Structure 1
Amino acid sequence: MAITIDRNDTQLIDVPRGLTNVVVAETAIGDVRGEEGFFHYRGVSGVELAAEARFEDAWNLVALGGLPRDGAESAAFRARTASARAIPESLHGSLSSIATSALDPMAQLRTGLALISSADGRRALYDETETERSDDAIRLAAVAPTLIAALHRWSTGQDPIEPDGDLDPVTDYLRMLTGVTPDIRLATALGTYLTAAIDHGFNASTFTARVIASTGADLASCVGGALGALSGPLHGGAPARTLDMLDDIGAPERADAWVRERVQHGGRIMGFGHAVYRTEDPRSRLLRGVAQRLRADGLATDRVDLAVTVEQTVLRVLDELKPGRALRTNVELYAAVVMEACGIPRELFTPTFASARLIGWGAHACEQVQDGKILRPSSRYVGAASRPR
């Protein structure tokens, strides 16, 4: 680690590119252990929660600090989140115009959440009580699926469907999106994915949310910045591109030649590699099983079989051509296959991911603002020499 002195005699410390392995804050929300292939929410295994499709329990855990202690607490949390799902009717005109604009779905979601937050009269986190901040976080996470579904339906010339508080949020999202109450197995499959997507360490979008929160800004601004980061193809934009890859390969017998060509020419293979994991992404293993069960039940196509073949081929070819390289399957490969089986349009893969990650962003923003210290790193100037006036 190099140490230099700037022109103000202030000590500067060089850190690795991308802030790799640099601790920038303390958190009680969750952790990712890359060498172990393990992640948790407040000490509870994320994989175990997801495997049981306990989406609302995981939401309760991340947002409020603990799992429900009994049925009454579970019911109270469901009622609290259900009452926060509705879009203000006064915004329908503005939102329907946004839905038919040239904005992509992620930009529409950012804009829509900002409008809803403003209509709700939400204030800067700096000026709110802890209870008000918690209400903000639950409101934005609860209304996001309703907003995603409504924007999509407006964009396709359909009327939006009002949320149904008697349904769990995952089932209701699919119903509002497709117009049909889904098969319970599809809702469970999507619930598994969304539970596993709630939080995952200080990734780019979560860190962005915390940086904005450190300024005391309103929560919609925090998650708006996070949504911008998530839209990037190297972050949350990957699942849709994973399906593009499977489309390009087309058939299992073409996988070997396609993968070899990419590896030999240094091309990127979507759905593989992770910034933290040095072993198999546990979310990928989990969702592979989910996808294969949907396939066995006749609820998914042979896209699942192709994804499994591509995964096996990529790992085999990498071991052959790039021995020792720690590049394994990440969550995007099977997340894309599962979302497609659930009837979610490809352009809504990243917004759907965001609808779960909003829970984590809200918790992180609320935690960061309590610190009271603005995040303000330094830089090293490497341009032309400065000249006196």
Structure 2
Amino acid sequence: MPTTGRNAPIDVPRGLKGVIVTETSLGDVRGTEGFYHYREFSAVELAETRTFEDVWHLMFHGTLPDASRRAAFTAETAALRHLPAEVTAALPAVARATALAGPLAGLRTALSLAGAAAGFRPLYDVDPERRRADALAACAAVPTLLAALHRLGQGLEPVAPRDDLPHAANYLYMLTGQQPDPNRARAVERYLISTVDHGFNASTFTARVIASTGADLAACLVGAIGALSGPLHGGAPSRALDTLDAIGTPDRIDGWLREHILAGDRIMGFGHPVYTTEDPRSRLLKGIARSFGGELVDFAVRVEERAEAILAELKPGRNLHINVEFFAGVVMELCGLPREMFTPTFAAARVAGWSANVLEQAGDSKIIRPAARYVGPPPGRPVPAA
């Protein structure tokens, strides 16, 4: 491939691994250290000590709010949870059409509809304040849309959001129709905070690529949701829990793991493309799980210990540790979330990070337009007659 000239392509690693494509002030992942941060703060420390609204404010405005600003921001976002009547009226049809695929597939359609109903315009046609307003509206609407689609899929009526509940507690309330247990609401909130952002993962990069075209905010988020739905990205929490179900009992752990690892099967919940040490999110979620205790937690801890030992034996030098999905599934199961809502709940958190990235990308007028290496038949052949 030519490597000279003004517009000559540049060879990069497959999958763009390690390639820096832009600058960001939103956060970073330091994989060899097992550390990630939102702006200048440890993401894990934020999850331990702050509310979801605080972190949302941090991502959008660059600062952690004081008590007065937190109250104002919480009230502002709570008022945006309510859906327009035309969107609410369309949700039963969306839920029926996506019954087999589930709420995350329905969210792609519902969020696109909500953006259109709200009059979202291309990012490059509106000022930063309107972009921020659209982003807040989208982030606030996603939990409402997800909860409504889930309940409709179960043959239940949607539950209207409550303005007096914090973000995470309101999400659980809309899913169940009942006031959530404070411990479970806080556990889900800590999970949501821990997954708001995580560097230039596939869905975040997708959102920024779409934003670079100047498309409207809903289009950016719908693309990101599509990327998140893949089992190698956000689609793994329920699959990691399915692994525990497949193993079944403690006496089967070693045999099951060895059989599947030797067969070349992927063990969901283990390994990460960035971390070469333990995923810090898994440490946080493991601690949350242990605070609940019980047979499921004890079993998950034992599977983790044996899986890491067997992976180190059979795949030496690979540094395969548990990732966020392993104990995320355990925590969400303990908090009463149905498995089909695990990845949608991930989306309910990550939408704040996606939106912050979209707002940042919208300030750059350069479209993201990489190149590809052509490897097909040699070009220039004459076109044969019909």
TM-score by length of 1: 0.95
- 3-state SS of 2:281 partner: helix
1:263-274 pair list within 5 angstroms: 263-274=261-272
Shift of 1:164: 0.7
| In 2, Cα distance between equivalents of 1:336 and 1:63 | 28
Is the contact made by 1:53 and 1:191 (CA closer than 8 Å) also made in structure 2?
A: no
1:284-323 pair list within 5 angstroms: 284-295=282-293, 301-323=294-316
Is the contact made by 1:209 and 1:226 (CA closer than 8 Å) also made in structure 2?
A: yes
* Number of residue equivalences: 380
Q: What letter corresponds to residue 52 of structure 1 in structure 2?
A: T
Of 276-285 and 99-108, more deviation after overlay is shown by 99-108
Aligned partner of 2:38 in structure 1 is 41
| In 1, Cα distance between equivalents of 2:306 and 2:344 | 29
Deviations 1:234-289 (A, max 9, x none): 00000011111111011122111111111212111000101111100000011001
Of 255-264 and 229-238, more deviation after overlay is shown by 255-264
Shift of 1:92: 2.1
Shift of 1:5: 4.3
Shift of 1:377: 0.5
| In 2, Cα distance between equivalents of 1:136 and 1:342 | 31
| In 2, Cα distance between equivalents of 1:195 and 1:92 | 28
Aligned partner of 2:174 in structure 1 is 176
1:171-320 pair list within 5 angstroms: 171-295=169-293, 301-320=294-313
Aligned partner of 1:78 in structure 2 is 74
- 3-state SS of 1:370 partner: coil
Aligned partner of 1:385 in structure 2 is 378
Q: What letter corresponds to residue 128 of structure 2 in structure 1?
A: E
| In 2, Cα distance between equivalents of 1:125 and 1:378 | 24
TM-score by length of 2: 0.96
Deviations 1:302-357 (A, max 9, x none): 22111111100101112222222211110000000111111111111111000110
| In 2, Cα distance between equivalents of 1:253 and 1:331 | 25
Shift of 1:387: 2.0
Is the contact made by 2:312 and 2:320 (CA closer than 8 Å) also made in structure 1?
A: no
Is the contact made by 1:212 and 1:222 (CA closer than 8 Å) also made in structure 2?
A: yes
| In 1, Cα distance between equivalents of 2:145 and 2:7 | 48
Q: What letter corresponds to residue 300 of structure 2 in structure 1?
A: A
| In 2, Cα distance between equivalents of 1:11 and 1:72 | 53
Shift of 1:76: 0.6
CA RMSD of aligned residues (A): 1.3
Shift of 1:74: 0.5
| In 2, Cα distance between equivalents of 1:219 and 1:9 | 33
Shift of 1:105: 1.7
Is the contact made by 1:271 and 1:329 (CA closer than 8 Å) also made in structure 2?
A: yes
Is the contact made by 1:178 and 1:343 (CA closer than 8 Å) also made in structure 2?
A: no
Alignment pair present for 1:64 and 2:61: yes
Aligned partner of 1:352 in structure 2 is 345
List gaps (5 residues or longer) in structure 2: none
Aligned residues: percent identity? 55
Q: What letter corresponds to residue 63 of structure 2 in structure 1?
A: G
- 1:333 pairs, out of 305, 326, 331, with 326
Of 166-175 and 98-107, more deviation after overlay is shown by 98-107
